[in-house]
Amino acid sequence: MDVALFGGSFDPPHVGHVLAVAYVLSTGGFDRALIVPVLSHAFGKQLAPYEHRVAMTRIAMDELRAAEVSTVEETLGVPSRTLRTVQHLKRSHPRWKLRLVIGADVHRERQAWLGYEELERLAPPLVLGRVGVENADAPEPILPAVSSTDVRALLSNASGPRNANRELARLVPHGVLTYIEEHGLYR
């Protein structure tokens, strides 16, 4: 089985994440996409609670039939490391052919990852270009210029200007915005 592995903080998930999964499922010949929210950020960045990020990611990916959100990192514990997750998945599912889906922005930081060369061997990266991200090693951009950092900034101002809410409606799946509002996240 060909599996696209897409990990990240998903803090919160946005349309760029959904489009990335839809793109690789449509064009990459994958049987499924496994979306893996990190339990904790490898470089110590503060994140919304794991349970909320998993729930929001499930909501965001709900329309993509071949996409599954996995809580495998919860069973592996901390520290969250992509290499450890990939090694675990390879042991658990030896027939899976994994490809690690990463954005051009993340690809620029690959040298900071633990065991990136081993990751390349176990799950050869599929790099997706993103508008506004310069990376000579990445293909032409197909993903929009949206980031969770920008979304969090807009959410912290959502009670202010009306254009912040309009921009959020363009960048974040409706169900995710509803979840964020219901749980008082990012305010």
| pTM reported for the whole predicted model | 0.90
For domain 2-145, the question of CATH label 3.40.50.2300 is answered with no
- 52-77 average pLDDT score: 94
SS3 165: helix
H or E segment to which residue 27 belongs: helix 15-27
pLDDT on residue 81:
83
Instruction: State the pLDDT at residue 44.
Output: 64
The percentage of residues in the chain with a pLDDT greater than 70, rounded to a whole number, is 91
Sketch the domain layout of the chain as residue ranges. 2-145
Query: How much of the chain, in percent, has pLDDT values that exceed 90?
Result: 57
DSSP lists the bridge partners of residue 126 as 101
In whole angstroms, what is the distance from residue 4 CA to residue 123 CA?
Answer: 9
**pLDDT over threshold 70, residue 42:** no
What is the C-alpha end-to-end distance of the chain, expressed in Å? Answer: 41
**pLDDT (tens digit, 9 = 90+) per residue, 128-186?**
888 877 766 677 888 888 989 899 999 987 555 566 788 899 999 999 999 999 999 99
